[in-house]
Amino acid sequence: MQYVIEFVVLFLILFLGFYILPAGIFHLLYHRKGANYEHIRIQNKKPKPKDLKREFRLSTWSVLIFSVGAFISWQFVKEGQSAFYYDWNEYPIYYAVLSFFICLIAHDTYFYWSHRFMHWPPVFKYFHLGHHRSLTPSPWAILAFQPLEAVIQFGTFALIIFLVPIHPVVFGIYVLYDSVVNTAGHNGFELVPKWFSKNKILGLGNTVTHHDLHHIHFDKNYGAFFNIWDRIMGTFLDDDASDLSKRQM
């Protein structure tokens, strides 16, 4: 019975806290009638009701798969068989900040290469086609994965839990940050000012438009938080290629 309760609690935390809450907030702010953000809409097209239903259905299944992974990981964490540390004094205080950025870099690297693999034609339809049915993504698409992709996506968090020494609080902040960035990236509205993407240093971070363009140009912009790997591997497409940039000219 204890295991059932643990699994249900983890499912509700992931479903309500890391899917419904961020997707719902962005939907209410930007996609409800009356929202005055058309000037920063990236694509002229809008998501259709059938797209939203598909995204919600796939995301719910992904949360279920994530919950299985989280439940298994939790059993190891309880036994002290993870990289989590609980005493802030165990590492220098600056390491808490450093570990957050280690997570971002590790996540981005894992995501870039696993994402490119899932775009490989022989496996694309088995792993990633479901997500790319959303040519005009919405916040509800953040976890719209096929089962095999959901397993790969959870792998990022599992690797960090077991390989990166990190305090649970920092890990929670990293997961929350990933959730917000992922939701913004599928929101369809550019929230990042133009000067950000044109700055030599800040421009190494992805804008909303960068990922939105990936849903149109499948062979570009594979990165999650950064576009460094895209620039190195020649898969980077600048945000000037978007409908929004054309309307701003």
> Residues 230, 223: contact at Cβ < 8 Å?
yes
Q: Which residues contact 222 (CB under 8 A, 6 or more apart)?
A: 111, 112, 115, 116, 119, 214, 229, 230, 235
- Structure confidence by residue, pLDDT tens digits, 198-224: 898 999 999 999 999 999 999 999 999
What is the structure's pLDDT at 247?
47
What is d(CA 249, CA 197) in angstroms, rounded to the nearest whole number? Answer: 16
Q: Is the pTM of this model over 0.85?
A: yes
Across the range 43-55, mean pLDDT stands at 92
pLDDT at position 187 is 93
Q: Kindly tell me if the per-residue pLDDT of 51 is higher than 90.
A: yes
| CB-count burial class (<10 Å; 0-12, 13-18, 19+) for 219 | exposed
Residue 236: per-residue pLDDT: 96
Check residues 124 and 239 and name the one with the higher pLDDT. 124
**Strand partners for 84:** 166
Tokens standing for 172?
A: 């929670």
CA distance 229 to 204: 10
Q: Is a pLDDT exceeding 80 seen at residue 228?
A: yes
